[in-house]
Amino acid sequence: MKNKPFYPNYNHSILGIPNSLLSYYGAKATHPSLPILDGYLRQNYKNVILIILDGMGMDMLQHNLSKFSFFRRHIKTKISSVFPSTTVAATTAYYSGLAPIEHGWLGWSPYFKDLDRVVELYTNKDFYTGKRQRKNVTQKMSYPHICDKISSANSTLHCTKVFPTFVDPDGPTDFKEFCFKVKQATLKKGSQFVLAYWFDPDHTSHEFGPYSKNVKAVLKDLNSKVKRLCSELKDSLVIVSADHGHIETQDIFLNDYPDIMDCLAKPLSLDMRVQSVFLKPNKKKTFVRLFDQFFAKDFFLMKTEEALKMNLFGLGKMHPIAKGFFGDYLLIAKGGKNLVQRFPNDCYHVLKGSHSSLTTNEMLVPLIVIKKK
């Protein structure tokens, strides 16, 4: 995105994948399904496997893999991520079948008013200091998992989750073992639904950038191993997609602009490339003027009420916890710049690749479907 944002299309997005699965298995879907995926599901395979490869956007895929590669040959369509285009919001959409506005997991590090802290949802640590919080901030943010919904609607169906060891201590330690565990799940008697998540290429892209030789090597490995997995499957429908894409990024430090810092009532929060901005009441006009002067080329401001009115976070009832995450404005990256706020002795780590904003690189992901009879 040079100037124009690529807004999520919630009628043709990753949110459609879990809702297609819910609908197919007779559970209640809360959002539109993907008609193209519905057609494949109606062919009634014994095994349905959903593999989520974190960060594998269309742009990254096209840049690093040949059009003759296994993944690219099996792309059926391009779909949008949700907003923000970040793992916390997007994988939770997969696992819940709900839009971000409904499930409330809106970003890596939202602001919690009751704690007066910006807290990482996955780690329960203060984003700026790394200090673990005594209170579990996500305690009231639970949601019914699609595996539970599907199992409730199908007493004879077996659901298996395959997640890496940092999520599941009994999970796979590498991608070879990941594919082995997926295959083993399909060998059980009766119909199987397998939900499998892997942290790459996201992890490698953060460290080295989406166009690095490191990411290219990771994608080639993922492509090769999924191809081999599929060659060993029978009576299976394999769906491969992602939560979001990636963009190469550079940081701008807000601390270098003390007049703008003085306008903030709270630290920047929500996610790296989509910041929730809480302003001092008497500094709102000053902030907008200074933003236009220094940052309008690389970022744009959107009033929170405007974002909610246009359903940027999806349709549905807002999660009560999420109400406190929104400040006066959303500060959204246009291109490859991140706006970073620093604190003394903070835990800041430079990322060469990032995501969460509205560029096509971050928002467009593939829907890959492989049929094995």
For the residues 297-323, what does the mean pLDDT come to?
Answer: 97
Q: pLDDT tens digit string along 186-214?
A: 999 999 999 999 999 999 999 999 999 99
Length of the chain: 373
- Per DSSP, 133 falls in state P
How many whole angstroms separate alpha carbon 91 and alpha carbon 76?
21
109-113's contacts with Cβ under 8 Å and 24+ in sequence apart are 109/269, 109/270, 109/271, 110/269, 110/270, 110/276, 110/322, 110/324, 110/325, 111/266, 111/267, 111/269, 111/270, 111/276, 111/278, 111/324, 111/325, 111/327, 112/137, 112/324, 113/324
Identify which has the larger pLDDT, 285 or 155: 285
Q: Does domain 16-102+142-246+359-372 have CATH number 3.40.720.10?
A: yes
User: 203: how many CB neighbours lie within 10 A of its CB?
Assistant: 16
Per-residue pLDDT tens for 271-285? 999 999 999 999 999
pLDDT in tens, 55-74: 999 999 999 999 999 999 99
**Euclidean distance between CA atoms 84 and 108, whole angstroms:** 10
Q: What class is the 250-350 domain?
A: alpha beta
Position 1 confidence tier, pLDDT thresholds 50, 70, 90? very low
Query: What is the chain's mean pLDDT, rounded?
Result: 96
| Domain range summary for the chain, segments of one domain joined by + | 16-102+142-246+359-372, 250-350
Q: Stretch 143-160: mean pLDDT, rounded?
A: 95
Rounded to an integer, what distance in angstroms lies between the CA atom of residue 291 and that of residue 301?
8
Q: What is the pLDDT of residues 235-286, one digit of tens each?
A: 999 999 999 999 999 999 999 999 999 999 999 999 999 999 999 999 999 9
Burial (CB < 10 A; 0-12, 13-18, 19+), residue 298, is middle
* Residue 316 pLDDT greater than 50, yes or no: yes
Confidence (pLDDT) at 12: 98
- Return the sign of the alpha-carbon dihedral for residues 17, 19, 24, 27: positive
The reported pLDDT for the residue numbered 3 is 60
Q: Kindly tell me if the per-residue pLDDT of 359 is higher than 80.
A: yes
Contact (CB, 8 A) for 95 and 373:
no
> What residue ranges in the chain does DSSP mark as E strands?
47-53, 75-80, 111-112, 117-118, 158-162, 192-198, 236-241, 247-248, 250-253, 269-270, 274-277, 299-303, 329-333, 337-340, 353-354, 364-372
